[in-house]
Amino acid sequence: MNISFKHPHLRGANLLAGAALAALLAGCNSANAPSTTASSANTSVSQNEAAPQGSSAAQSAAKTGDDHGHASDAEALEAHPHSTKLLFASKPTAIPAGKTTTWTLQINDAKSGEPVKEFDVVHDKLMHLIVVSRDLTWFNHIHPTYKGNGTFTMTTTLPRAGTYKLYADYTPKGKEQEVAPHEFSTAGASPTTNVSLSPDKMNGVWMTKKVTAHPEGEPNAKGGPTYEVALMPMPFPAKAGADTMLHFQVRDAKGVPVKDLQPYLGAMGHAVVLSSDSKQYLHSHPMEGGMDGKPHDMSKMGEMKHSAPPKSGGPDVMFHTKLPSTGLYKAWGQFMHKGQIITAAFVLNAEPGAASATATTNAPHEHKPGDPPHAH
């Protein structure tokens, strides 16, 4: 069955473009400072912890070389200035490995420095926070609690010493989605950018992994049920700049397809893709539709509407994405079954290729006409 890809199904990110949105913070006060001020922005952040570290577009680009843009249709990713900036703080200030810390993420207007007070709900949450170790061996998807006045808080535990990177994914009310990165190292750890990835190999038409399910936001939890997750990238090998389908199939420990997956955050799954240098970030939600043997007409994707997911489904969940440049990428697929989160990671290599591709699948499906691309 030939599938012709013509439109992207995501709003990707080449992280945080280099428009100068704010100057670097003047510095951090002590952990017990009753009030701290982000200089150059004239924004006072009152809290009993260290001053947040700025992660505006200009700051992130200066520190990591990141830039970023979004694409919601067939247009190429286009860098644009962000309307907000992220201020990050931790208590304790020096983040220990293996111990619980409290994080504060403050979202302010990039120009005025005033807090952004309203956000759109996207897939059931006001903010999706992706946290990864810099070597991409550890991943967590967290949803901080909104306290009002632009402030999100959460508690978390990092499993080991090292360098980590977070991606705060949010949409100011009535504006476009923004993804703000922030990189940091745990207490006493030297910053590192070493990443060693090898592409996963195909076993027939699938890549397969055995994984342990865990409670939401607790990837280190032990004792959960075992699942087998398979991935069929289409086309394979993936082509840089070309539309790509990530076809996941969830199976139980014995390899039997799981047909009663539950919606997770308003969709049948989520996929996050990062380039090996962590500068390319893609967060996609699945293409809803039955795997019923009918053709999957990708040529009409620009006319499609996002429909609500079924109450249960599976075992197949498909994501439409685009790997913007050549090189290695790590893709995490997340699904829910019996209240537990199933997270499986695969490494893909994007080879040089044309801007469009044709893939073949043995599990075709269709969309209803009228739905626009909906993943972010």
Dig out the tokens for 106 from the structure. Answer: 């403050």
Residue ranges of the domains in the chain? Answer: 2-9+197-360, 22-55+83-185
pLDDT value of residue 308:
56
CB 98 within 8 A of CB 158: yes
pLDDT value of residue 25:
29
Protein fold of 2-9+197-360: Immunoglobulin-like (2.60.40)
Q: What percent of the chain has pLDDT over 70?
A: 66
Exposed, middle or buried by CB within 10 Å (0-12, 13-18, 19+), for 140?
A: buried
pLDDT value of residue 195:
85
Q: In what order do the strands lie in the sheet with 151-157?
A: 53-54, 84-91, 100-109, 151-157, 145-148
pLDDT value of residue 237:
93
Distance CA 5, CA 298 (A): 5
Among 49-53, 202-206, 327-331, which stretch is predicted with the lowest mean pLDDT? Answer: 49-53
Among 4-8, 145-149, 158-162, 317-321, which stretch is predicted with the lowest mean pLDDT? Answer: 4-8
In terms of pTM, does the model score above 0.85? no
pLDDT value of residue 193:
73
Say whether pLDDT at 191 is over 80.
yes
CA proximity to 96, closest of 189, 187, 220: 187
The mean per-residue pLDDT over the stretch 96-115 comes to: 96
pLDDT value of residue 192:
78
Within 10 angstroms of residue 368's Cβ, the number of other Cβ atoms is 12
DSSP secondary structure, 328-348, as one string: EEEEEEEEEETTEEEEEEEEE
pLDDT value of residue 59:
34
Distance CA 133, CA 165 (A): 6
Chain CA centroid to CA 333, Å: 10
pLDDT value of residue 288:
60
- Chain mean pLDDT for the chain: 74
Model confidence pLDDT, tens digit, residues 247-267? 999 999 999 999 999 999 888
Distance CA 304, CA 270 (A): 19
Model confidence pLDDT, tens digit, residues 279-316? 999 988 887 654 443 434 444 433 334 445 667 788 99
Q: How far is CA 240 from CA 78, 248, 267, 280, 352, in A?
A: 16, 20, 27, 12, 5
What phi and psi values does residue 185 have, to the nearest 5 degrees?
-120, 150
No. of H helices and E strands in the chain? 1, 25
Say whether pLDDT at 172 is over 60.
yes
Buried b (16+ CB within 10 A) or exposed e, 145-179: ebeeebbbbbebebeeebbbbbbbbbbbeeeebbb
Task: Show the DSSP H helices in the chain as ranges.
Answer: 57-64
Report helix, strand or coil for 212.
strand
Within 10 angstroms of residue 341's Cβ, the number of other Cβ atoms is 21
Among 40-44, 177-181, 237-241, 257-261, which stretch is predicted with the lowest mean pLDDT? Answer: 40-44
CA proximity to 69, closest of 59, 56, 78: 78
- CATH topology agreement for domains 2-9+197-360 and 22-55+83-185: yes
Model confidence pLDDT, tens digit, residues 54-101? 443 333 333 333 333 232 222 222 334 589 999 999 999 999 999 999
The mean per-residue pLDDT over the stretch 313-332 comes to: 94
Say whether pLDDT at 368 is over 60.
no
Say whether pLDDT at 6 is over 50.
no
Per-residue pLDDT band for 190 (boundaries 50, 70, 90) equals confident
Class of domain 22-55+83-185: mainly beta
Max distance between CA atoms of the chain, in angstroms, equals: 64
Distance CA 275, CA 62 (A): 19
